[in-house]
A and B are shown apart, each in its own frame.
Chain A
Amino acid sequence: MSEPVYDVVIAGAGIVGAACAYACSREGLKVAVLERDFIGGGATAAGMGHVVVMDDSEAQFALTRYSQQLWQELASELPADCEYVRTGTLWVAADEEELIEVRRKHQFYSQRKVPSEILDSRSLDAAEPQLRTGLAGALFVKEDAVVYPPCVARYLLERSRDLGARVLLGKEVIRLDDEGAAFEDGTMMKGAVMVNAAGARAASLHPDLPIVPRKGHLLITERYPAFVHHQLIELGYLKSAHKSTADSVAFNVQPRKTGQLLIGSSRQYGMDSPEVDRSILSRMLARAGQYIPSLPGLSALRVWTGLRAATPDNLPLIGRCPGYRHVFAAAGHEGLGITTSLATARLLIDQLMSRAPAISSEPYSVQRNIAVHG
């Protein structure tokens, strides 16, 4: 018996692949998802799981905000193990200079109707007593949330399956072209449209995709309920983490629904081994300790690393792959894949259905002119 021809064949069952599968299934398309390992086992499991609006660029803002609104729609139906909590984000300003950035950000978000509020030093102390005193203030971005991504990916695929999608685990795709997906054993799965949603491995299927791994470290603690209340990020994050090609660390702590604290973050280029780098881990935790003096006394359960699929301009690749007629990419989401997964799926399905998207999809086009790293 030969395999049926699918409307959409998706390589990768991470959060992006799952979101695409769900979006396509809801349109009545016949979907197959192929995953080499298991659901959400790659960057989806390794990341922090934040749903944040970002303002590095207009394009990044548009995508993150659109996606955040899609998350808010989805939130009510998510099962408890998805741990969706609207914690909000506090962008913490250490000094007057960073406070200027707080005001700029506030204005930027206010103009675009994103609810946010400036906290002065005193109200920041009151909001997060564990932060060191004497910080200059913070911007409270109210609709940001945290979520547990592997369970969301599973939920989206379960819903897709209910709508007729086929999810094949332990099935590694070695080639994805206009015909379909090819496997190691010489067999193929045919599709009208193929989607590369293989995360950090996307470039191994299509080497033309400008994706490089950017390694990150995370640590999770024992349960300390109500230790902090919001996602906390240092404003220096923008300077240190996103705008540099050198290894960097930044203070980023999340309260999880379990009462645990998730502590990040680090960024390293040119590394694809999963090993923990003790030196950058130490720097990352010391940085967190500078903001939360009692943090070094807490008990750490686990440390792990993950690879972000980074592009040169920090925007994902969503659309037709160069050189193919039926192969699309939904990859290169760097550290924002959880946030932007839902919008990615919408932009993809709008392209497949030849509909006008809710936001312009131009900035994320695979064929866009990307400033390439030196």
Chain B
Amino acid sequence: MAELVWISIDESPVEVEPGTTVAAAILQSDTAGFRRSVTGEWRGPVCGMGICFECRVAINGQPHRRSCQAYCESGMVVRTK
């Protein structure tokens, strides 16, 4: 098996298999609400294919990244809100 990848999600370290998307990693850490909507509701991933933009998080300080379209890379810093 390939080496595990370590990333940080909301300041907690999480280890995942290579090829795991950031969305899947966040769901592994038992977080369902990825972000707040424009009126403050919790939202999580829906389409899983980069269309709906519901799974947006900040990755390495960049806001509005679609977590379902990004693979985890070692040392990545992910922030949900």
Contact = CB atoms under 8 A, between A and B. Distances in A.
B64 A222 contact: yes
Contacts of B64: 222-223, 299
B2 interface: no
B63 interface: yes
Interface in B39-73: 63-64
Interface in A188-246: 222-224
A224 B63 contact: yes
A223 B58 CA distance: 13
Interface residues of A, number: 5
Interface of A: 222-224, 258, 299
What is the predominant secondary structure among interface residues of chain B facing chain A? strand
Interface of B: 38, 63-64
A111 B72 CA distance: 61
Contacts of B63: 222, 224
Contacts of A224: 63
A299 B62 CA distance: 10
A224 B64 CA distance: 10
A299 B66 CA distance: 12
What is the predominant secondary structure among interface residues of chain A facing chain B? strand
Contacts of B38: 223, 258
A373 to B, nearest CB: 44
7 contacts: A222-B63, A222-B64, A223-B38, A223-B64, A224-B63, A258-B38, A299-B64
A294 to B, nearest CB: 12
A299 B63 CA distance: 9
A220 to B, nearest CB: 14
Contacts of A223: 38, 64
A6 B63 CA distance: 54
A157 to B, nearest CB: 26
A223 B38 CA distance: 10
A191 B38 CA distance: 46
A224 B38 CA distance: 12
B19 to A, nearest CB: 26
B65 to A, nearest CB: 9
A299 B64 CA distance: 8
B55 to A, nearest CB: 15
Contacts of A222: 63-64
A222 B66 CA distance: 13
A224 B63 CA distance: 9
Contacts of A299: 64
A226 to B, nearest CB: 12
Nearest to B53: A222
A13 to B, nearest CB: 28
B70 to A, nearest CB: 14
A223 B35 CA distance: 13
Q: Which 7 pairs show the lowest CB-CB distances between chains A and B?
A: A222-B64, A299-B64, A224-B63, A258-B38, A223-B38, A222-B63, A223-B64
A220 B8 CA distance: 32
Contacts of A258: 38
A374 to B, nearest CB: 48
A314 to B, nearest CB: 38
B51 to A, nearest CB: 14
